[in-house]
Amino acid sequence: MQDQQAELEWREDAVPVSLHFDDPYFSLENGLAETEHVFLAGNDLPARFRDGFHVGELGFGTGLNFLATWAAWRAFGAGGTLHFTSFEAFPVSPPDMGTALAAFPALSGLATQLVNAMQKGVGVCTFEDVHLTLILGDARQTVPSWGERADAWYLDGFSPAKNPELWGRDLLQAVAAHTAQGGTAATYTAAGFVRRGLQDAGFHVTRAPGFGRKRHMTHAVLA
């Protein structure tokens, strides 16, 4: 399952940093608050949750976005099953995942379930109220061949300057092709070429206030 496992180093306050991309997996300020601001609020969640709602994600990383979404799903009480599909080229090992997620005690119960599931080495995990699919490999190949559509996308690759492969025009076109009508996408970056790529793919794109030190982020709705 793990052809290209992520290599990490740990910086201040136990923040994991990718050695391959020289970029942190989440905000040095408050990773959970960043996820809630950028990806949940950025996709108008949890207000849009309903049974069968499907989140697509580029970059599973430590699983923080998934856990924050799962926690929000439970708190919202939509009922039924949440579907979450994430595309990841460099999976984080379960021990490193557990170490990273220990920084968020509010998610500890869900984190334990996730890490235990990841230790089994399978790409599909079915929990009580959420169905997680982790698709490994180059997203430029795996997203176009995906057979489903997401209601909301979390575009969470590493910095466009360091990980341009996850922000290319063709991949963003594939994201749009696998977005439900009226679906949304959100990302922490407001880089011009990313916004233009989303626009060219058919999204209506707006710039919104970013998290922490980031002045802006990007919100997109499929036209």
Domain boundaries, given as residue ranges, for the chain: 8-222
With a cut of 70, list the residues of the chain below it in pLDDT. Answer: 1-3, 13, 28
What's 8-222's CATH class? alpha beta
DSSP string of 77-125, one letter each residue:
T--S-EEEEEEESSPPPHHHHHHHHTT-GGGHHHHHHHHHHHTTT-SEE
Is the separation of the CB atoms in 103 and 31 below 8 Å? yes
The pLDDT tens digits of the residues spanning 74-119 come to 999 999 999 999 999 999 999 999 999 999 999 999 999 999 999 9
The pLDDT tens digits of the residues spanning 52-71 come to 999 999 999 999 999 999 99
Q: How far is CA 68 from CA 32, 34, 62, 212, in A?
A: 7, 10, 11, 18
* pTM across the whole model: 0.94
